[in-house]
Amino acid sequence: AQTVTQSQPEMSVQEAETVTLSCTYDTSENNYYLFWYKQPPSRQMILVIRQEAYKQQNATENRFSVNFQKAAKSFSLKISDSQLGDTAMYFCATPYSGAGSYQLTFGKGTKLSVIP
């Protein structure tokens, strides 16, 4: 089994500021991907960023970047220059192996509010 923990149920940030959302996980796998998904009020699940565990370089997508610490099993998301449209639930997810296939395990989410 695998667990994913997001320790911050809610966070807020001023517009244009930077915020970091934390995520820790537990896995026995060596090669895997980790994901951050965004769920705005529309409810659509949108991929924000993906990190390949075997790569040492942290992934970056425009204003979004991760701090991946493989040994510590930590995978935080940094949002720079926060915008009102970043207001959403954010879910960390990582696959684990079960019954010969891979499933995604999701954290319980962090509700981010961007304040004008």
Partner 1 sequence: NAGVTQTPKFQVLKTGQSMTLQCAQDMNHNSMYWYRQDPGMGLRLIYYSASEGTTDKGEVPNGYNVSRLNKREFSLRLESAAPSQTSVYFCASTRHPGETQYFGPGTRLLVL
For the bound state, the minimum distance from the C-beta of residue 15 to partner 1, rounded and expressed in Å, comes to: 27
Contacts of 79 (CB under 8 A, 6+ apart): 13, 18, 19, 20, 21, 63, 64, 86, 112
Query: Which is nearer to partner 1, 37 or 68 (by Cβ)?
Result: 37
Interface positions with partner 1 (CB under 8 A) = 32-33, 35, 37, 43-45, 47, 50, 91, 95, 99-104, 106-109
Query: Which is nearer to partner 1, 19 or 37 (by Cβ)?
Result: 37
Of 79, 56, 76, give the one whose Cα is nearest residue 67.
76
For the bound state, the minimum distance from the C-beta of residue 23 to partner 1, rounded and expressed in Å, comes to: 12
Query: Which is nearer to partner 1, 30 or 116 (by Cβ)?
Result: 30
For the bound state, the minimum distance from the C-beta of residue 112 to partner 1, rounded and expressed in Å, comes to: 15
Query: Which is nearer to partner 1, 77 or 107 (by Cβ)?
Result: 107
Contact 107, 85 (CB under 8 A): no
Neighbours of 20 (CB within 10 A): 15
Residue 12 pairs in a beta bridge with: 113
